[in-house]
Structure 1
Amino acid sequence: MREKRTRLSQTLRASALCTGVFLCLFVGSANANSELEGVSDEIARQQSQLAAHNKKLNALQSDLKTQSKRIDTLSKKTRQAQQTLQQTDVQITRLSKKQARLKQEMIAQQAQLAELIDAQYRQGEHDQLKRLLSQEPPAKLDRLTKYAEVLASTMREAIELLAATRTDYQLTAHQLKQQRDKQASLVAELTEKKQALEREQASQSQTAKKIRAKIASDNAYLAELKANKQRLQEQIAAAARRAQVKMAGIGKAKGKLHWPTQGKLLHRFGERQSGEVSWNGIVIGAKRGTEVKAAHAGKVVLSSWLRGYGLLIAVDHGKGDMTLYGYNQALLKDVGDTVTAGEAIALVGDSGGQSTPSLYFEIRRKGNTTNPIPWLD
């Protein structure tokens, strides 16, 4: 009987132990599943946040692109209006000088005509008849007659010249009025365009500020930089393949290339941009709207907006040599245009999302970036 009770007790203890182990395993498994579900939820939440972040960033970049293109159009129209206004000012100055000269000529011609009239009057209405009836020698009479004829001829010429000068003066006055009216219209147009440009630039600045806030963290900024550089590499490679420019390159022009614009050097080639990413070119701070000039003769192979670089223009110089100009306010040349060294190709701006106007300048040789400084004059 005692042995039976002992075996029963052992059986119960074993059963309880198994039950305890099973319960522990069950509870442990439930906790593990719960933790896995929590991790999965967190991953899903972070992915959702990242997707929302990227969607917002892409939308802002799209807004920046649209605004940059509007600014590009307005800048070029403003520039054209300014150039036309300058030409009009030159015409007004020329016509004003001509008008003043003609006025002086008319005064002189009127004085000369008055003298001729006075001389003729002093001869008298019947002077010729009196001479004929007088006892003057024939030779003297011939001289007096000849004088009268010359005087009459000179008067006719003076009258005709004065009439021509007066007509020229009136025509010049009319042209001057037209140019001044045109000037007033251009000034009004220019003022309107400048105001529209300022509004667009203010909107662009706000968009750029939001973009910078979106990529404020080191990781986000680094990811954006890498993606931008990759996009640029692809665009440049495709443009070079399409263009097939047959020029001599820049190999013999080291130390002689034109500075694309004048200003303070904000970033140097090789300087750390973020993490392991360094600047592939230089950044020159300059006043918005300053002309950007081609460093060397070449052919435009890219002229468009590119994320991170804004309105960008690329000039192929042949032999695998290329110069890039980014952050522009406006692009003055189109793909296919041939440019000379020192020719204006763009205007300085901040279309890439920069906080201040500047120019990004890069030199590529056979696809590889190189320090621009030793190449510039």
Structure 2
Amino acid sequence: MRDMIIHLNHTIRASALCTGALLCLMFSQPSVATSKNQLDGVKQEISRQQNQLGSKKTQFNTLQKELRQQELGIAQTAKKIHQADSQLNTLNDSISKLERDQTTLQQLKFGQQEMLKELLDTQYRQGQNDQLASLLSGKQSTELDRMSVYAERLSQARSRALNELAATNTELQLKHHELALQRQQQQVLLTQLKTEKSTLESKQKHRKKTLISIKSQINSDNNYLTELHANEKRLLAEIAKAKAEAEAARRVPMDGLARQQGKLPWPVKGSVLHAYGSVQKGELHWKGMVFSKPSGSQVKAVYSGKVVFADWLRGYGLMLAIDHGKGDMSFYGYNQTLLKKVGDTVQASEAIALVGDSGGQERSGLYFEIRRKGTPTNPRNWLAK
């Protein structure tokens, strides 16, 4: 946008010079017809350049819209990948638990088999001895029958326990197999999603190159400042809208950040690219902080609150805003994808987004800002040392 506006100024200056030159030629010639022809030429040239500027401005705005759509597409895919990864981790945990349970059951089965083997051996030897004793001593058959029935019932009980254990073990094996298949399906899904994400990122890079080629024509810092101011106005407008909606929908009071100065967890752990108050361009200074962090890293909420904005915003990309109550809000921009939506309640250190480079940023990172009653404040003073 900066380059576009600068190019407009250069073209208008060129048009003015051209106009001046042609007017000089017009008044230097005595012929009225010649002067009229020159004036018509000037008008045509101005009209041509205005049409050209209008066309380039339209093209630039179209590129911004396409960039937004591509980044939203990447965000959707990245969110699916994040969800698939979580599902895969859950499956891995389930498989590990099943394997531990299976090992325990196998050990129990082995113990029971040994007990059953010993019992059968004892019963066999007892049966041999009892038969011989009954023949030699003439003992009553009642006692022998009682012992035989006891041994038989005990053997049956052990056999049933063993059968039940075998059935349980078979069931666990089936579950393990089922989870293994699900895990394989998840891997296939991840591959597909990552391929889709790569395709979208490729399209985004291509579009950014086109955007850069247009911006390369611009040299004026004033016009870049105009775009930055416009970005901030868009943010302020969204803040006002979001805050009004939050106040109207609020049911649970929130305590704000007043008691949290110097205690808040960092939204990401990374080096600071731009500090609060440092020069952004000309007289414009950063009203937040920019952290360097690889794409896909988790962004954490610094304090509990309610999500009041979660959308793509020109200049900030995928932005999420949290209302903490009493006029305190925190903002998280440049994200690859958002994990929360408007109306969601979040807790401190809860994952709310993934780091990215949306909004046309040249490198991945997180834009973080804190505002109190609409006024930006230095976020570093609120973060833990």
TM-score (norm 1): 0.85
Q: Secondary structure at the match of 1:251?
A: coil
Give me the whole-angstrom Cα distance separating, in 2, the residues matched to 1:279 and 1:171: 61
Shift of 1:222: 2.6
Shift of 1:232: 1.1
Structure 1 segment 73-222 matched on structure 2, within 5 A: 73-124=76-127, 130-135=132-137, 147-216=147-216, 217=219, 218-222=221-225
Question: Hey, what does 1:231 align to over in structure 2?
Answer: 234
Shift of 1:239: 1.0
Structure 1 pair 97–269 and aligned structure 2 pair: CA distance change class (3 A): same
Amino acid at match of 2:174: H
Contact in 2 for aligned 1:208/1:355 (Cα 8 Å): no
Structure 1 pair 261–35 and aligned structure 2 pair: CA distance change class (3 A): farther
Q: Secondary structure at the match of 1:311?
A: strand
Give me the whole-angstrom Cα distance separating, in 1, the residues matched to 2:229 and 2:341: 27
Give me the whole-angstrom Cα distance separating, in 2, the residues matched to 1:258 and 1:40: 62
Bigger Cα displacement from structure 2, 113-122 vs 278-287: 113-122
Amino acid at match of 2:97: R
Question: Hey, what does 2:290 align to over in structure 1?
Answer: 283
Question: Hey, what does 1:327 align to over in structure 2?
Answer: 334
Contact in 2 for aligned 1:260/1:292 (Cα 8 Å): yes
Amino acid at match of 1:224: E
Structure 1 segment 336-355 matched on structure 2, within 5 A: 336-355=343-362
Give me the whole-angstrom Cα distance separating, in 1, the residues matched to 2:277 and 2:191: 42
Contact in 2 for aligned 1:298/1:339 (Cα 8 Å): yes
Q: Secondary structure at the match of 2:360?
A: coil
Question: Hey, what does 2:261 align to over in structure 1?
Answer: 254
Shift of 1:168: 0.4
Contact in 1 for aligned 2:256/2:325 (Cα 8 Å): yes
**Percent identity over the alignment?**
40
Q: Secondary structure at the match of 1:247?
A: coil
- Structure of larger gyration radius: 1
Bigger Cα displacement from structure 2, 314-323 vs 41-50: 41-50
Question: Hey, what does 1:44 align to over in structure 2?
Answer: 47
Give me the whole-angstrom Cα distance separating, in 2, the residues matched to 1:147 and 1:129: 12
Shift of 1:36: 6.1
Amino acid at match of 1:297: S
Give me the whole-angstrom Cα distance separating, in 1, the residues matched to 2:96 and 2:134: 57
Structure 1 residue ranges without an equivalent (≥5): 1-23
Bigger Cα displacement from structure 2, 279-288 vs 146-155: 146-155
Shift of 1:307: 0.8
Structure 1 pair 90–304 and aligned structure 2 pair: CA distance change class (3 A): same
Contact in 1 for aligned 2:81/2:190 (Cα 8 Å): yes
Give me the whole-angstrom Cα distance separating, in 1, the residues matched to 2:258 and 2:114: 71
Structure 1 segment 352-363 matched on structure 2, within 5 A: 352-363=359-370
Give me the whole-angstrom Cα distance separating, in 2, the residues matched to 1:32 and 1:279: 53
Q: Secondary structure at the match of 1:214?
A: helix
User: For 1:37-66, what per-residue CA distance to the aligned partner results, in whole angstroms no more than 9, with x for missing partners?
Assistant: 666555434433332222111111111111
Question: Hey, what does 2:75 align to over in structure 1?
Answer: 72
| Pick aligned residue for 1:317 from 304, 316, 324 | 324
User: For 1:160-206, what per-residue CA distance to the aligned partner results, in whole angstroms no more than 9, with x for missing partners?
Assistant: 11101100010001101000010101011111101111221222233
Contact in 1 for aligned 2:133/2:139 (Cα 8 Å): no
Amino acid at match of 2:65: S
Question: Hey, what does 1:3 align to over in structure 2?
Answer: none
Give me the whole-angstrom Cα distance separating, in 2, the residues matched to 1:373 and 1:212: 33
Supply the RMSD in Å over aligned alpha carbons: 2.6
Contact in 2 for aligned 1:128/1:145 (Cα 8 Å): no
Give me the whole-angstrom Cα distance separating, in 2, the residues matched to 1:260 and 1:34: 66
Give me the whole-angstrom Cα distance separating, in 2, the residues matched to 1:74 and 1:167: 42
Give me the whole-angstrom Cα distance separating, in 2, the residues matched to 1:282 and 1:40: 49
User: For 1:298-346, what per-residue CA distance to the aligned partner results, in whole angstroms no more than 9, with x for missing partners?
Assistant: 1111000011111111111111111111110111111111111111111
Q: Which has the higher contact order (CA 8 A, sep 6+)?
A: 2
Give me the whole-angstrom Cα distance separating, in 2, the residues matched to 1:271 and 1:29: 60
Shift of 1:262: 1.2
Q: Secondary structure at the match of 1:323?
A: strand
Alignment pair present for 1:302 and 2:305: no
Amino acid at match of 2:380: I
Shift of 1:104: 2.6
Q: Secondary structure at the match of 1:262?
A: coil
Bigger Cα displacement from structure 2, 251-260 vs 177-186: 251-260
TM-score (norm 2): 0.83
Give me the whole-angstrom Cα distance separating, in 1, the residues matched to 2:56 and 2:225: 15
Give me the whole-angstrom Cα distance separating, in 2, the residues matched to 1:38 and 1:373: 60
Structure 1 pair 76–51 and aligned structure 2 pair: CA distance change class (3 A): same
Bigger Cα displacement from structure 2, 31-40 vs 272-281: 31-40
